[in-house]
Amino acid sequence: MTQLIVIGAGPAGLMAAEMAAAQGQRVTLIDAMPSVGRKFLMAGKSGLNLTKNEDMARYLAAFGPLPANLRAILADFGPQDVMRWAEELDQPLFTGSTGRVFPVAMKASPLLRAWLARLGAAGVTVQTRWRWNGWRGDALLFDTPQGAQVIGAKAVVLALGGGSWARLGSDGAWQQYLPDITAPFAPANMGFVVDWSAHMTRHLGAPVKAVAMSAGAATTRGECIISARGIEGGGIYALSRAIRDGAPLVMDLLPDWTLAQLRSALAKPRGKASMTNHLRKVLRLDPVRLALLAEFGLPYPDDLAPLIKALPIRHAGPRPLDEAISTAGGVRLDALSDDLMLQQRPGVFCAGEMLDWEAPTGGYLISACMATGRRAGLAAADYAKSR
């Protein structure tokens, strides 16, 4: 019987394997893809945002309402812990102006190589192209290049990811093996579909800057992008949970102006200038914001100032699940112990994005996956020792 198995080699699974091996366990790390950490590597293509350098209260608040046990797990391995961990792997870090933390190398690949080297030195065995196919009694079933395998283990950590980016390994197929304890997947940190008018074509790919956006009680001053498929980017992702749940998306095109200032500027004589040129001149709106005002504001009301301060962005719902950065839904937290063990299967622990929770981008998602992987790995090691 194998001592301890970790299935899924993303940040949560890698951390679970590291923690279990550090407790003296003989660990086998298994992944269905030809190589490990594929979504982790993709996250680092535009700069690996590893965590957010902020105090614990603010960090935890970014996750919204969470059960007390999960909040404790996140607090046990917070931003400062993540930073120390990366630096111990000889990966120097820097903190950007918004508090986001990146490796100096920016990419994920140097960090992943160093991490795998540490796991190898700790005796962790890695098996790729092994797809988990559920259980036979208490044993695990795998489809492997060598044929079907049935393997027993003293403890198991499942870190199988969510339901987005199937081509990178997160296809959510594991839900069939955990019936009755999973919530349906929903896209998270995603863009929204907009069927743009023809006049928006020249703005496709352009960033929308110097705006504020809100949805329900959530607000952000982040940027977004006008894409051929709709509207996306960090500012939209920060609001995506509220928008997905039905809150209207509203954009303030001039967040530093008051209504009175806007009305005063708009009251200036227009002469023979077109309305677009008048708005450009008196409000100093750039072409992208002018285009958005025309897209969602025409025909303009007599009092244009309130519309500029609260422009409704009409959309046709979220982009498809597989295009989302992450997903909500997964293993319900009430099906787990405080140490993330499945109540219906003692000795089986769950971690990472497969849990029914939702983390924002900006370093929170990766850090939290590592924190849950850490707790699951330690708890699984303790369970295996007791057996």
DSSP state of 29: E
Quick one: tokens of 80? 């400062």
> What type of residue sits at position 258?
T
Estimate the crossing angle of helix 109-121 against helix 11-22, to 10 degrees.
30
Q: Tell how far CA 43 is from the center of its chain.
A: 9
Task: Give the integer Cα–Cα distance in Å for 53 and 22.
Answer: 26
Beta carbons within 10 angstroms of residue 260's beta carbon: 9
Taking only the tens of pLDDT, the chain with its 387 residues reads 579 999 999 999 999 999 999 999 999 999 999 999 999 999 878 889 999 999 999 999 999 889 999 999 999 999 999 999 999 999 999 999 889 999 999 999 999 999 999 999 999 999 999 999 999 999 999 999 999 999 999 999 999 999 998 998 999 999 999 999 999 999 999 999 999 999 999 999 999 999 999 999 999 998 999 999 999 999 999 999 999 999 999 999 999 999 999 999 999 999 889 999 999 999 999 999 999 999 999 999 999 999 999 999 999 999 999 999 999 999 999 999 999 999 999 999 999 999 999 988 889 999 999 999 999 999 999 999 998
Quick one: tokens of 54? 């902020």
Residue 1 confidence (pLDDT)? 58
CATH superfamily for 2-186+327-386 is FAD/NAD(P)-binding domain (3.50.50.60)
Residue 124 confidence (pLDDT)? 98
Estimate the crossing angle of helix 275-283 against helix 259-266, to 10 degrees.
130
Residue 46 confidence (pLDDT)? 80
Task: Give the integer Cα–Cα distance in Å for 226 and 232.
Answer: 7
> What type of residue sits at position 245?
D
- Report domain extents, the chain: 2-186+327-386, 192-312
Instruction: Number of helices (H) and strands (E) in the chain: give both, helices first.
Output: 12, 21
Task: Give the integer Cα–Cα distance in Å for 96 and 196.
Answer: 34
Residue 229 confidence (pLDDT)? 93
Residue 295 confidence (pLDDT)? 97
Percentage helix, strand, coil for the chain under 3-state DSSP, each rounded to 5:
40, 25, 40
Query: Model-level pTM?
Result: 0.93
Residue 387 confidence (pLDDT)? 83
349 beta partners: 157, 341
